[in-house]
C-alpha cells in the first residue's frame, strides 16, 4: 500500500492503466481464492449440527447486531459506513481456515462450513445493506456497473472455481495443481492493494483523517467477535477445537469478495474500497493477536489433545 501511494504521487499518469489492470487482477484473485473453498463438498458441513448452528447464528445474527452497535461510533461519511458494512457483514472463506489450523482449531470443520458461509453471505448481504442503509442502498443496487461486476468478478470466478474442483476430484495430480493455486492469493492480494493505492490516490488522501476512527472500529470488532464466539461456544457446549474454529470464523471477514463491489461504485462512494483494504490490514494483525489469545482462553482438555 505504501509503495502504491509512492507511485501514485510520483507518476500519477499511470493511474488509468493501473485501474484498468486492477479488474483482471481482482478476477484472478477471486478465482484462486474460490478454488480453495470446497464447493463440491457441501453435505459434509451439516454433519455437526451444533457447530453449523453456532457459525450461522454467530455470523448472520449476532455479528450483524454487533456491527449495528459499532456504527453508532463510526464516522458519519456514508461511503465510509458503507465500507464498514460491506466488509464486516460477510464472514471469511479463505485465510480463516489457515488461522484456525494455526490456532489449534478444528480445521476439518472450518473447511466443511466454508462453502455454506460463502453462499449464505451472497444471499443475505443485499438484505443486510438494505436494512442498514434503506433507500440509499437501493440506489446503489440499481447501478449497472455494480451488477456487471457482481456477475463477472464474483459469480463467474465462483462457477469457474466449482468447475475446477470438479475437474480435479478424480485425479491426485489435478488436486495437486489446485493445491498449488492456493499460493496465488497471497501475491495477488499484494498486487491488488498496490494497484488500489496507486490508482486511487486522491481518495486515499481524502480519507486519511477518518482512517484513525475506522481503525478503532475494526479493533473493537475483533474484540467483540472473540467475546461473542466464547459465549456462543459455551452456550452450545462446543469442544475447545470447535470453539476455536468458531471464534476465527467470527473474527475474519471476506474483504476479497466485497472489494470489487466497492470499486465498482460511483466516485463519491469509492472511499468504501479503502475502508475494506484497511480492514484486511487490521485483521491481519488482529489474527496474530488471536493466535496468541484464543489457545489460552480456550485450552484443550487432555481428551482433545490425543
- For 3-49, what is each residue's pLDDT tens digit? 988 888 888 888 888 888 888 888 898 888 888 777 766 666 567 78
- Is 140 inside a domain boundary? yes
- Is 302 inside a domain boundary? no
- Is 25 inside a domain boundary? yes
**Residue 257 belongs to domain spanning:** 2-296
- Is 271 inside a domain boundary? yes
| Per-residue pLDDT tens digits for 89-105 | 999 887 888 889 889 99
Task: Report the domain count for the chain.
Answer: 1
Q: What CATH number is given to the structural domain containing 72?
A: 1.20.1530.20
Determine the 3-state secondary structure of 176 from DSSP. Answer: helix
CB 44 within 8 A of CB 51: no
- Is 304 inside a domain boundary? no
* Location of C-alpha cell 487490521: 282
Angle of the 201-235 helix axis to the 63-71 helix axis, nearest 10: 130
> What is the predicted pLDDT for the residue at 143?
58
Q: What is the mean pLDDT of residues 100-119?
A: 87
Phi-psi label, residue 134: left if phi above 0, alpha if psi -120 to 50, beta otherwise:
left
- Is 306 inside a domain boundary? no
- Is 301 inside a domain boundary? no
> What is the predicted pLDDT for the residue at 84?
95
* CA–CA dist 94, 111 (Å, integer): 9
- Is 111 inside a domain boundary? yes
Q: pLDDT at residue 306 above 50?
A: no
* Location of C-alpha cell 444471499: 123
Amino acid at each position: 500500500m505504501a509503495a502504491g501511494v509512492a507511485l501514485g504521487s510520483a507518476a500519477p499518469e499511470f493511474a488509468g492503466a493501473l485501474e484498468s489492470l486492477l479488474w483482471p487482477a481482482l478476477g484472478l484473485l477471486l478465482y484462486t481464492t474460490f478454488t480453495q473453498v470446497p464447493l463440491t463438498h457441501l453435505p459434509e458441513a451439516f454433519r455437526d449440527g451444533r457447530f453449523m448452528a453456532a457459525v450461522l447464528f454467530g455470523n448472520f445474527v449476532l455479528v450483524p447486531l454487533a456491527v449495528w452497535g459499532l456504527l453508532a461510533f463510526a464516522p458519519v461519511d456514508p461511503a465510509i459506513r458503507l465500507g464498514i458494512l460491506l466488509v464486516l457483514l460477510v464472514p471469511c472463506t479463505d485465510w480463516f481456515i489457515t488461522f484456525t489450523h494455526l490456532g489449534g482449531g478444528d480445521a476439518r470443520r472450518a473447511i466443511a462450513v466454508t462453502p455454506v458461509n460463502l453462499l449464505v453471505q451472497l444471499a443475505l448481504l443485499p438484505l443486510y445493506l438494505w436494512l442498514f442503509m434503506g433507500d440509499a442502498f437501493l440506489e446503489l443496487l440499481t447501478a449497472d456497473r455494480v451488477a456487471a461486476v457482481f456477475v463477472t468478478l464474483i459469480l463467474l470466478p465462483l462457477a469457474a472455481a466449482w468447475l475446477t474442483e470438479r475437474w480435479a476430484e478424480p485425479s491426485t495430480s489435478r488436486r495437486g495443481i489446485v493445491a498449488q493455486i492456493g499460493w496465488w492469493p497471497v501475491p495477488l492480494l499484494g498486487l491488488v492493494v498496490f494497484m488500489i493505492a496507486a490508482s486511487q490516490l486522491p481518495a486515499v488522501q481524502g480519507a486519511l483523517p477518518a482512517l484513525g476512527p475506522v481503525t478503532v472500529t475494526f479493533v473493537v470488532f475483533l474484540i467483540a467477535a472473540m467475546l461473542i464466539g466464547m459465549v456462543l461456544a459455551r452456550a452450545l457446549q462446543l469442544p475447545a477445537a470447535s470453539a476455536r474454529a468458531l471464534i476465527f470464523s467470527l473474527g475474519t471477514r471476506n474483504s476479497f469478495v466485497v472489494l470489487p463491489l466497492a470499486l465498482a461504485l460511483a466516485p463519491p462512494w469509492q472511499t468504501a474500497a479503502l475502508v475494506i483494504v484497511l480492514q484486511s490490514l487490521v485483521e491481519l494483525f488482529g489474527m496474530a493477536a488471536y493466535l496468541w489469545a484464543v489457545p489460552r482462553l480456550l485450552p484443550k482438555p487432555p481428551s482433545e489433545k490425543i
